[in-house]
């Protein structure tokens, strides 16, 4: 039983935001630390489009024009994208906790869902040449297929709608204050 000065909706909204922020920070902090350490040793020169294979960001990839004109903005956008999906994957655990009470299962189910999405792309490998796996499109450099802004937005919006909807609907309905 929880005693608060707010209503259930505000409580679960705050819980969702805290989970999202914690998941995003867990992903973001090591990436920022890595960026700072690499920046200490690698000179900050502007990339050139003459040989895009040196940098791994091919022309036509997501935000590639931004990479060649403003590489720091490109890096910050990818850090924000990683933060967002880290937060969304953390909220999957929050949403699943309304159905399952086993702590280990709550931690492992988002991991398995991510791998199901990752391996489901092998069925579309030669039919659909856009990346659908977050394990691949959250890298700033395309691993196999180029990332698509539309697919990233659709997956992010679907994850948000599902996790936020479950958290707010079932949390307010089932939890006892």
Q: For residue range 5-54, what is the model confidence (pLDDT) as tens digits? A: 778 888 889 999 999 999 999 999 999 999 999 989 988 777 776 766 66
d(CA 135, CA 118): 7
Q: What pLDDT is stored for residue 64 in this prediction? A: 73
User: What's the predicted TM-score (pTM) here?
Assistant: 0.83
Q: What distance in Å separates the CA atoms of residue 86 and residue 105, rounded to the nearest whole number?
A: 18
Q: Does the pLDDT value for residue 77 go beyond 70?
A: yes
CA distance 118 to 132: 7
The pLDDT > 70 percentage for the chain reads 84
Q: Which pLDDT belongs to residue 3?
A: 58
Q: In whole angstroms, how far apart are CA 40 and each of 43, 126, 164?
A: 8, 41, 40
């Amino acid at each position: 039983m929880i005693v608060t000065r707010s209503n259930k909706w505000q409580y679960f909204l705050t819980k969702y935001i805290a989970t999202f922020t914690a998941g995003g920070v867990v992903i973001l902090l090591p990436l920022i630390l890595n960026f700072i350490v690499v920046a200490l040793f690698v000179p900050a020169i502007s990339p050139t489009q003459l040989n895009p294979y040196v940098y791994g960001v091919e022309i036509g990839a997501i935000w590639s024009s931004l990479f060649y004109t403003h590489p720091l903005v490109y890096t910050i956008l990818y850090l924000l994208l990683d933060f967002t999906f880290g937060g969304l994957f953390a909220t999957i655990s929050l949403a699943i906790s309304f159905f399952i009470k086993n702590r280990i299962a709550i931690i492992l189910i988002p991991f398995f869902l991510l791998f199901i999405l990752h391996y489901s792309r092998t069925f579309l490998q030669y039919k659909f040449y856009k990346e659908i796996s977050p394990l691949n499109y959250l890298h700033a450099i395309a691993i196999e297929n180029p990332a698509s802004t539309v697919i990233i937005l659709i997956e992010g919006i679907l994850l948000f709608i599902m996790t936020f909807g479950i958290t707010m609907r079932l949390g307010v309905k089932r939890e006892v204050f």
